[in-house]
Structure 1
Amino acid sequence: MIDPVTLAVIQAGLQQVCDEMDLTFSRAAFSPVIAEADDRSDGIYSATDGSLIAQGSRGLPVFVGVMQFSTRTILDRIAKGLTAAPEPGDVYIVNDPYLGGTHLMDVRFAMPVYRGGEIFCWLSNTGHWPDTGGAVPGGFSASAISAEQEGLRIPPVKLFKKGHLDTEIYQIICSNIRVSEQRIGDVKAQASALLVGADRLATLLDRYGDATVTEAIAEMRRLAAKQMRAMIGLIPDGTYKSTAFIDSDGVVNQPLTIALTVTKAEGALTFDFAGSSPPCMGPMNSVRATTYSAVYLAMRHIFPDVPISAGAFEPLTIIGIDGTFLDAHYPRPVSGCAAEVSQRIAEAVFAALVQPLPAHVTAAPAGTSGNFGLGGHDPERGRDYVMYQISGGGYGGNALHDGLANGCSTIGISKAPPVEIMEQTYPVLYRRYALHEGSGGAGQHRGGFGLDYEIELLRGEARASFVMDHGRVGPQGALGGQDGAVNRVEVIRGGETLIPEHLSKAQDIALKPGDRVRVRTPGGGGYGPPADRDPALVAEDVRLGRYSPDQAASLWPAGK
């Protein structure tokens, strides 16, 4: 049996391999969404079943489960002869949502790592490409009704063969996406991250030996399952229910329902989504891999000390998604699944488990990535561009303190790219970039504030698209706390203000120089009864201008 010290060192070493891949990917990438916003992730996966071994601490949590599923898909297709068998130096590319993915813009690379002529493990990463074709620049088509309208769908194929780029496949990809001349920088960065990981992993294996590292990996999985079961033991046996809503699917202007029943029994949790809405016409469907990953990341939020490993998922069973919009099949559109639907799933998990775990679970966070795509031609630079803006929002209050303001989305660590980088890269000017004050839901501990930004188009003509959420109902409060403020989107054209019909979703809005877009993201939900809030904290919020005196008096009568 491996000794605890060696196990800890190997576990940290595998984590470091993934962290170095993350850093390499971001530092070498060209696109701001990867290089600045860190919309990417890297991990190590089993050679036998594709299960997760380790993932970088700097990567998006939503990709924890997704890359596990996509790696399994590659292994399965190789075994069936649907995908060519691997050789040293090969790197596969895949973005098909229905083959263990998310939306089309999340492009995954996978590379086998060989030891002694046999595959020891797989390295995989995911990066958000700014565009993969489709009806609108950036891929977030709010009214798509089929996958083809969202962009190019790539099954698992070898983009690199024996270490060399397959230029024919690469040309096919570039012929179907916008600003294709910029993709080579991201492609090489993504592949380089895997090569760095392979080199660092080889050093670790050479130091401790393949057999010892293999034993450590098995023990890491066993301990992760044991630790997750120990955390689940904090939950009393029973059934806990919750409901979360999607504003609309972007086509039919009616809410979608996520109905969740969580059952704790025999040291395990079952998440039953029976009763959720059926598949929808628009792009707010979720694929199975993303739905599973959303539950996994929610549990990571609740129990962050459980190590990232496939073992941590073993006590979690997910059922009831068949026939719902949480298990989409081709050709259902899915551009909103990773960035939006997954966060509603996590919100449903939080709302159910805050009941038995009030000290561990927060009120609902903003729960939207604020996907804003802008595409056009910059006449000054003589080139086309696709700009993708993500934005933060308020976190929910919790048992100890108020929610964080302008935090990253529930699904990851991605942050909004710096304003200066965006203005240097695209023909836009940020007229406003501030907190969405007053947006936090009232409670004993109020929710954090969202973001309030306004962008003006400076040159040329462009088309804007939005796939966001929480425009109809704000993030849920918990245990008597009030909901956070809703997401607000406004387009100012020719002095007139347009509010999208679907509130948080619209596509192909034509913009001319001087036109502006303003977005106010949601605040987090409040935690606990507002009447229990310390009057001194209410007074401090008023003093800092976070709430007006009238707002504070209305929300917290005890704080007058």
Structure 2
Amino acid sequence: MDAINTSDLDIADRRVDPFLMSVLKSRFEAIVREMTLVVMRASRSAVIKNARDFSCAILTFDHKLVSVEDALPIHVMSMDMATRPLTELFDDIARGDIFLNNCPYTGGTHHADLIMAMPVFHEGEPLFWVVALSHHADTGAPVPSTYLPFAKNIFEEGLHFPCVRVAQDYREKQDILRIGTMRNRVPDMWLGDVRAQIGACRTGERRIGELFARYGRDTIMGFVEDWFDYGARCAKAAIAKLPAGSYTYETRHDPVPGVAEEGIPVRVTIHVDPEKGEIVVDARDNIDNVAGGLNLSENTATGSCRIGVFNNLDESVPHNEGAKSQIKVLLREGSVVGKPKYPVGTSVATTNVNDRLMIAGNCVFAEMGAPHGQAESGNHLPAGVGVISGHDPFKNGKPYVNQVFVGYAGGGARHGFDGWLTYCGPANAGLIQLDSVEVDESMYPIVIERRGVLPGSQGFGEFEGAPAMAGVFYPLDHDMTIVYAADGTSFPPRGVLGGGDGKESESIKLAGSERVVLPAFAEETIEEGAKIAFTACGGGGYGDPLKRDPRRVAATVNRGWLSREAAETVYKVALVEGGELGVLVVDEARTRTLRAA
């Protein structure tokens, strides 16, 4: 997007000098980055410190998003919903307080995401919230997992903290922490992860205090207002370039036995008003809550509707309150994609149906035609991203629980770009890190036998979806339980505008010479001597495969992601040996003949 011209903004309306505004923007981002480093370095569970399933943010005390940095999209685009109940429920918020909220019925995402929020005061006035959200390895659910698609209500999920004060006057409240550790399979790990979040919040509070000491209240708060105004102008300018109209897209989550026998359709309509610079995302036309954990929380439904829009705007649009204000979201109470009706289960609210909602939000822009929109991506929870548990035979039978990120789904293509290989799912869009094999094997009694790209599994198109990852891992000297929810087994990612579909997910148990195809949604025991094999989804393709640049086809073949035969049959691109040993190049004459035919 072209740079925003602020010359028409009356100088009297500017609260802060433009150069100082740039400095303060970077200072706030640096504070969030430092908070992020505290969580990453101080946490104990692999899902947080290795995979980085956590996010930090700064909001104003009246719950407006100021700054995020390297945060997962699903965690921050509706962070205000998690802090807003605090000022409604507590009339004695004081300096040194820290609050814990992981309840979807008080603004949380889902029960595994513990959201820690601390007020920041200046001269007795509360002005900001510093927030650290971490996805915990265990929350004491009946099943050793934080993803429970079969949990019909919150009574079948893990422990909920519906806006609880966990520290007062900078001192931890031991009674609250005792509740958490007692209801946890790995209490020491849980407590360490909680304290990492507390440390991040205290770091953020201290650093914002230093900003006030240097620049003063009026300058800092003036910057915030100017920053929001700038975000709104950027979003309006980006939306103004889109074609006006209403556009609809529907995708479908896989069937889940006993919960949604026919699957769950997910439908989104957007109304684009370029003159107002506004987009309304309407997700009300969806089915009622289901009897399982696949229902979205209001937080995740709202955030995901916004994310689909942001993914289709220029990347220079800041992710702050001003930009958010140009995206309106319409939800229906009691809908699987909307505001859940208490006490239905929302355990899987950050993935699965939520992935499908973001996918629909990404793809609906393709209804405008090229170059807009993107193809469907893969989803979060194949067996390669399962929650494993058991008793470690090398640590005197000590119990362990952790979500691994051994191998995950590929991203969908968009105009001009092939899909992102290490995408994982739209809720994080590549920001979750792939586990280190060596670190996983050192922390848990497992062996990762292999993982890698599955050639030919991508959605073909002018721009290709990312190929699928596949792999095998197994427990050492004990029985291991794995819980996963592999959406995309029945309805794999679709291409758009003529692009092909990505490969479906697969879950397989290998026991000697026996090969058992497992259900897509299951809790399985992998006995000593057995193995779990998985294929995550490949991403969908974008556009007509015959329009793909032949040189890109050759590059994909040389990378090992596409066979020479597929290049000729799918893309009508003929390849021959080049000057360098083992490297294929395009046979220009034969390719022209194939494509002409």
**Superposition TM-score, scaled by structure 2 size:** 0.88
1:59-89 CA distances to partner (integer Å, 9 max, x unpaired)?
Answer: 211111332110012112225xxxxx22221
| Local SS of the residue matching 1:8 | helix
| Local SS of the residue matching 1:355 | helix
In the alignment, the residues of structure 2 paired with residue 110 and residue 320 of structure 1 have an alpha-carbon distance, to the nearest angstrom, of 26
1:80-137 CA distances to partner (integer Å, 9 max, x unpaired)?
Answer: xxxxx22221111111012111221110101111111121211111001100011211
Q: In the alignment, residue 139 of structure 1 is paired with which amino acid?
A: T
| Local SS of the residue matching 1:477 | coil
Q: In the alignment, residue 241 of structure 1 is paired with which amino acid?
A: T
Q: Does residue 1:184 correspond to 2:191, yes or no?
A: yes
From 431, 434, 439, give the equivalent of 2:449.
Answer: 431
Q: In the alignment, residue 52 of structure 1 is paired with which amino acid?
A: L
**Partner residue, 2:423:** 407
CA drift at 1:330:
2.3
CA drift at 1:323:
3.4
Contact 1:366–1:523 at 8 Å: present in 2 too?
yes
CA drift at 1:496:
2.8
CA drift at 1:227:
1.0
| Local SS of the residue matching 1:98 | helix
Query: Percent of pairs identical after alignment?
Result: 26
From 71, 75, 90, give the equivalent of 1:78.
Answer: 90
Q: Does residue 1:236 correspond to 2:243, yes or no?
A: yes
Contact 1:235–1:357 at 8 Å: present in 2 too?
no
Q: Does residue 1:335 correspond to 2:335, yes or no?
A: no
Alignment root-mean-square deviation, CA = 1.8
Aligned residue runs from structure 1 range 450-469, under 5 A: 450-469=468-487
From 401, 408, 412, give the equivalent of 1:392.
Answer: 408
Q: Does residue 1:21 correspond to 2:67, yes or no?
A: no
In the alignment, the residues of structure 2 paired with residue 2 and residue 30 of structure 1 have an alpha-carbon distance, to the nearest angstrom, of 41
Q: In the alignment, residue 410 of structure 1 is paired with which amino acid?
A: P
Aligned residue runs from structure 1 range 24-423, under 5 A: 24-48=38-62, 50-55=63-68, 57-79=69-91, 85-249=92-256, 251=258, 252-265=260-273, 266-303=276-313, 304-327=315-338, 328-356=340-368, 358-370=370-382, 371-382=385-396, 383-390=398-405, 391-412=407-428, 413-423=431-441
| Local SS of the residue matching 1:42 | strand
Contact 2:264–2:353 at 8 Å: present in 1 too?
no
Report which stretch shifted further, 350-359 or 161-170: 350-359
1:265-294 CA distances to partner (integer Å, 9 max, x unpaired)?
Answer: 232111112332221112111011101111
After superposition, the Cα gap between the structure-2 partners of 1:528 and 1:187, relative to the gap in structure 1 and judged at 3 Å, is same
In the alignment, the residues of structure 2 paired with residue 109 and residue 261 of structure 1 have an alpha-carbon distance, to the nearest angstrom, of 34
Q: In the alignment, residue 414 of structure 2 is paired with which amino acid?
A: N
Contact 2:267–2:357 at 8 Å: present in 1 too?
no
CA drift at 1:462:
2.4
After superposition, the Cα gap between the structure-2 partners of 1:137 and 1:478, relative to the gap in structure 1 and judged at 3 Å, is same
1:383-402 CA distances to partner (integer Å, 9 max, x unpaired)?
Answer: 00002123432222222232
Contact 1:142–1:466 at 8 Å: present in 2 too?
no
Q: In the alignment, residue 293 of structure 2 is paired with which amino acid?
A: P
Report which stretch shifted further, 102-111 or 466-475: 466-475
**Partner residue, 1:82:** none
| Local SS of the residue matching 1:33 | helix
CA drift at 1:494:
5.0
CA drift at 1:544:
3.8
In the alignment, the residues of structure 2 paired with residue 150 and residue 468 of structure 1 have an alpha-carbon distance, to the nearest angstrom, of 19
In the alignment, the residues of structure 2 paired with residue 210 and residue 514 of structure 1 have an alpha-carbon distance, to the nearest angstrom, of 64
In the alignment, the residues of structure 2 paired with residue 336 and residue 555 of structure 1 have an alpha-carbon distance, to the nearest angstrom, of 37
After superposition, the Cα gap between the structure-2 partners of 1:404 and 1:248, relative to the gap in structure 1 and judged at 3 Å, is same
After superposition, the Cα gap between the structure-2 partners of 1:123 and 1:290, relative to the gap in structure 1 and judged at 3 Å, is same
In the alignment, the residues of structure 2 paired with residue 197 and residue 166 of structure 1 have an alpha-carbon distance, to the nearest angstrom, of 20
Contact 1:24–1:192 at 8 Å: present in 2 too?
yes
**Partner residue, 1:556:** 571
CA drift at 1:466:
0.5
**Partner residue, 2:582:** none
Q: In the alignment, residue 240 of structure 1 is paired with which amino acid?
A: Y
In the alignment, the residues of structure 1 paired with residue 22 and residue 378 of structure 2 have an alpha-carbon distance, to the nearest angstrom, of 36
In the alignment, the residues of structure 2 paired with residue 216 and residue 133 of structure 1 have an alpha-carbon distance, to the nearest angstrom, of 43
Q: Number of residue pairs matched?
A: 550
1:533-555 CA distances to partner (integer Å, 9 max, x unpaired)?
Answer: 23343344334432334444443
Report which stretch shifted further, 390-399 or 459-468: 390-399
Contact 1:443–1:528 at 8 Å: present in 2 too?
yes
In the alignment, the residues of structure 2 paired with residue 471 and residue 408 of structure 1 have an alpha-carbon distance, to the nearest angstrom, of 15
Report which stretch shifted further, 21-30 or 365-374: 365-374
Please list every run of 5 or more consecutive structure 1 residues that lacks an aligned counterpart in the other structure: 80-84
**Partner residue, 1:10:** 24
Please list every run of 5 or more consecutive structure 2 residues that lacks an aligned counterpart in the other structure: 1-14, 575-593
**Partner residue, 2:12:** none
In the alignment, the residues of structure 2 paired with residue 6 and residue 331 of structure 1 have an alpha-carbon distance, to the nearest angstrom, of 48
After superposition, the Cα gap between the structure-2 partners of 1:321 and 1:358, relative to the gap in structure 1 and judged at 3 Å, is farther
In the alignment, the residues of structure 1 paired with residue 371 and residue 496 of structure 2 have an alpha-carbon distance, to the nearest angstrom, of 12
Contact 1:140–1:335 at 8 Å: present in 2 too?
yes
| Local SS of the residue matching 2:308 | helix
In the alignment, the residues of structure 2 paired with residue 280 and residue 512 of structure 1 have an alpha-carbon distance, to the nearest angstrom, of 33
**Superposition TM-score, scaled by structure 1 size:** 0.94
Contact 2:284–2:337 at 8 Å: present in 1 too?
no
In the alignment, the residues of structure 2 paired with residue 107 and residue 367 of structure 1 have an alpha-carbon distance, to the nearest angstrom, of 22
| Local SS of the residue matching 1:492 | strand
In the alignment, the residues of structure 2 paired with residue 224 and residue 249 of structure 1 have an alpha-carbon distance, to the nearest angstrom, of 41
Contact 1:142–1:465 at 8 Å: present in 2 too?
no
In the alignment, the residues of structure 1 paired with residue 400 and residue 257 of structure 2 have an alpha-carbon distance, to the nearest angstrom, of 25
